[in-house]
Amino acid sequence: MAMTSVREKIEQAVAQTLADLGAANVPFAVERPADMLHGDYSTNAALVVAKLLKKNPKDVAQEIADKLTVQGVKTIDIAGPGFINFTLAGNAVKDIVHEAHETSWGSNNARQGQKIMVEYTDPNPFKEFHIGHLMSNAIGESIARLFEAGGADVKRANYQGDVGLHVAKTIWAVKNKKVAGADWGAAYVAGNTAYETDEVAKKEIQEINVKVYDRTDDAINALYDEGRESSLAHFEEIYKKLGTKFDEYFFESQTWKKGLGLVQNNIGQVFEASDGAVIYRGEQDGLHTRVFINAAGLPTYEAKDLGLLALKAEKGEFDVSVTVTASEQTEYFKVVLAAAKHIDEVQAIAERTQHVSHGMMRFADGKMSSRTGNVVTGESLLADLTEAARGREDVAVGAIKYTVLKSASSKDIVFDPEKSLSLDGDSGPYLQYALVRTRSLLRKAAEAQVVDPQPAGAMPVERLIVHFPEVVEYAATELEPHYVTTYLTELASAFNSWYAQERLIVDGAITTRSIAVLKAIENTLAQGLKVLGIPTPEEM
RNA sequence: GCCCUCGUAGCUCAAUGGAUAGAGCCGCGGACUUCUAAGCCGCUGAUGUAAGUUCGAUUCUUACCGAGGGCACCA
């Protein structure tokens, strides 16, 4: 069971004091000061209520500080324009460091009992696993883990387009032997080109598309089944490398009928007929109009997504349902959700759905092709990096995930293969290396003599450890893993400074305090990397 | 044209309306007979423009400039 944290104690004490001063329920923040010199926690409470009370902020701060006593807090100071800064007692930090040895998955129980679904990656069978899928996977996996770290019951979902024009294009190319063997990724590219440049091919592809839906052609069924199975099996290998295990797989072959039905049942109330198609007028919600059933009577992606929502709803009631996609789908998604909120079967889940959109990954040199001259796919990137990391796939995965998860997800990412390959600076390997060092030291410490001198005051690295649970919870609330990435980089840096400055094992002896701090750092780094989905090696 | 993102140091990224805007890369300069140097220490360097709200704005509002994305039968 998580105890009341020092931060929560401060928050409660300040709230009580404000109430005593006649300023109850005024929102204030208790946060980590940017500079550790200002203490371990800080509040702007005095600044917020000063105006209300028509008093000088510093006087109010003094007034609040005089009334405050918080267990575990050593000093309460007034600084700057009227901040109240709290510095923890050495013993309190020591206790938290000891607790951090054991902090484990889900022990921060902020989300105990919550049921959450996270949908991400979403590659399409018959097409390549590209870099966008890699980004979606890194972000979605981390969001899933952030919720799990809070004790939530998380279902990982993957939605894959196994019907549609892209499938027909691929099958057409294989059927007409445009590629050697059954190279499904290359076949899609060939089929797509033919579709856009060759009228005859276009017509043939459209015919195949219909047959994929109605399954009346044995030859096409055989190609389809083979391609689908082979694609999906191949994706599983990639998920394994990336550390993802899905609980639910949804396919467009399941969603389209359901979605079609939902739209048809709501024509007149939610949707309207227009130019032979069925549309939703998004303008009523400040959005734009989109087609849900095309003039040929086939469901578009919009209708399929409504069907997907219905299938998800059948899996249970979720407190939160997160969908991770590329930002080009942001506007599209708003329209689908807006329409869904008018439909009984999917209204509840639509209202609990949060959309996380991520930017594009570009390359620093402007090229999108790999060494071999092909388009860079998720796989080729991983393979190239693994080779550069001397065969260490765990390091390569860490490098990629760190790059994706170090900045806010809505931003585009510039991936510099050179820099990533050099594994320098703030990077996944930097964090992994720090972890490996703590593990190596702990192995050596196990054979060392343990001595117990008087402990000095709390070191920076110890004071950082205090904040880990808050960071994870904040990142989960914001659906932003990069807060964890930034924090871990800071922690690893503080550890490396300590390590460089102080020799821990001297003449075969180590202090109990050093062991305690090492254990806390090791566990915090390991838990943090786990939240990010970055592998935690024993040795490098 | 309308809508949505985003503009911070030469480059790649941080900053929960707060305190002196932080890191890494690059560059320059250091420390190593010792626990993993993929590391550590020091130095130089930035909020697109113009207003507004606020005790206080990188953060909120408006306009403009610039980049990317979206806007009817693709996904």
| pLDDT digit string, tens, across residues A35-62 | 999 999 999 999 999 888 888 899 999 9
- A406 CB neighbours strand B below 7 A: yes
How much is the pLDDT for A531? 96
CA atoms of A530 and A524, how far apart (whole Å): 10
Q: Please report, for residues A10, A62, A67, A438, the alpha-carbon distance to residue A22 in angstroms, rounded to integers and kept in the order given.
A: 18, 16, 14, 50
Written as one string, the DSSP assignment of A297-329 is S-B-HHHHHHHHHHHHHHT---SEEEEEEEGGG
Taking 70 as the threshold, does the pLDDT of residue A421 lie above it?
no
Q: Is the pLDDT of residue A373 over 50?
A: no
Query: What was the pLDDT predicted at A504?
Result: 94
Distance CA A418, CA A267 (A): 54
A339's tokens: 């329409």
Query: Are A248 and A207 in contact, with CB atoms under 8 Å apart?
Result: no
Taking the CA of residue A39 and the C1' sugar atom of nucleotide B9, their distance in angstroms comes to 28
Kindly list the domain boundaries of chain A, sorted by start residue. 6-88, 260-358
Q: Which amino acid is at A477?
A: T
Q: How far apart are CA A61 and CA A47, in angstroms?
A: 8
Q: How many CB atoms lie within 10 A of CB A329?
A: 15
Nucleotide nearest A474, from its CA to each C1': B16
**Rounded Cα–Cα distance for residues A31 and A44 (Å):** 9
Closest CA to A345 of A318, A319, A315, A307: A307
Helix (H, G, I), strand (E, B) or coil at A73: strand
The rounded percent of chain A whose pLDDT value lies above 70 is: 94
Q: Is the distance between the Cβ of A254 and the closest atom of strand B smaller than 7 Å?
A: no
What is the average pLDDT across A508-512? 93
C-alpha A447 chain-centroid distance? 39
Residue A454 has pLDDT above 80, yes or no: no
Chain B: bases < 7 Å from a protein Cβ: 3-7, 11-20, 23-26, 34-41, 55-56, 68-75
Asked whether residue A359's C-beta has any atom of DNA/RNA strand B within 7 A, the reply is yes
Look at the domain A6-88 and name its fold: Gyrase A; domain 2 (3.30.1360)
Calculate helix-pair angle for A45-53, A57-67, nearest 10 degrees: 120
A44: Cβ under 7 Å from strand B? yes
Range scoring the smallest mean pLDDT among A123-127, A136-140, A432-436, A440-444:
A123-127
**How far apart are the C-alpha atoms of A383 and A363, rounded to whole Å?**
16
Type and span of the H or E element at A434: helix A428-446
Rounded mean pLDDT, A229-239: 94
What are the residues whose beta carbons fall under 8 Å from the beta carbon of A491, sequence distance 6 or more? A434, A461, A464, A465, A468, A521, A524, A525, A528
CA angle A534, A535, A540 (to 5 degrees): 125
H/E/C letters for each residue in A171-184? HHHHHCCCCCCCCH
Q: CA–CA separation, A328 vs A416, rounded Å?
A: 23
Query: pLDDT of A156-186, one tens digit each?
Result: 999 999 988 889 999 999 998 888 766 777 8
CB proximity A348–strand B (7 Å threshold): no
Name A residues 119-158 whose Cβ lies under 7 Å from strand B: 124
Under DSSP, is residue A4 helix (H, G, I), strand (E, B) or coil?
coil
Q: Which of A153, A164, A263, A276 minimizes the C-alpha distance to A213? A: A164
Who has greater pLDDT, A417 or A429?
A: A429
C1' (B36) to CA (A464) span, angstroms: 23
H helices present in A265-416, as ranges: 301-314, 330-340, 344-351, 378-388, 393-405
